[in-house]
Amino acid sequence: MTSEQVQAYLENVGLRSPLVERGVDIVDKWESLYGARPIDIVVDDERDESNARVYKDLWGLYPDFVVEQYTWTAGNFRGDVVSLESGIVRFEYTVRDYNFVEATDASRMTLEVDFQARVAGTVNVSGANCDHLLRLYREYFVPNLAGVRRPTAPEVAGA
């Protein structure tokens, strides 16, 4: 995923400068750490009591692993990496006001993923970010279910 694609996605989910630049910088750091850029990213976001978006973790999706960058909007560079060698063993999803065709501002989606027996992650999204997470669910997470044929980078990136 190029810096321009990262910037476009972050702006599309409502982030503005300097958070967009921070997100691009994190993906650049991932390239230095892991030797490659992610296939795609997703920002964990929720709505607070006043319906304002609260941005949380930044996820990077790679062919063989997933990176979760914690509280990146606060300027922290702390996260974890989970191997996909054993595949994904379980999903749990919750959807509200979303028809799986086109998200509205009221749309909400949560995807809980069990990567291995004791490793799990949760992504919360809202508004148009639901469309993005649904695409990632179909193109990245489902093909990585344990026992399911694993996609190659060109299959995921070109879809």
What is residue 148's predicted lDDT score, i.e. its pLDDT? 56
Asked if 64 and 85 count as a contact pair (C-beta separation under 8 A), the reply is yes
For the segment 26-41, what is each residue's pLDDT rounded down to a tens digit?
A: 999 999 888 899 999 9
For the segment 94-132, what is each residue's pLDDT rounded down to a tens digit?
A: 999 999 999 998 999 999 888 876 777 788 888 888 899
Reported in sequence order, the residue ranges of 97-143 that DSSP labels E, i.e. its strands, are 108-116, 119-126
Tell whether the model's pLDDT for residue 152 goes beyond 60. Answer: no
This prediction's pTM: 0.75
Which residues neighbour 86 within 8 Å (Cβ) at sequence distance 6 or greater?
Answer: 115, 116, 146
Tokens, residue 90: 């379980």
For the segment 8-28, what is each residue's pLDDT rounded down to a tens digit?
A: 999 999 999 999 999 999 999
Instruction: Give all domains of the chain, ordered by start, each with its CATH number.
Output: 3-157 (2.30.29)
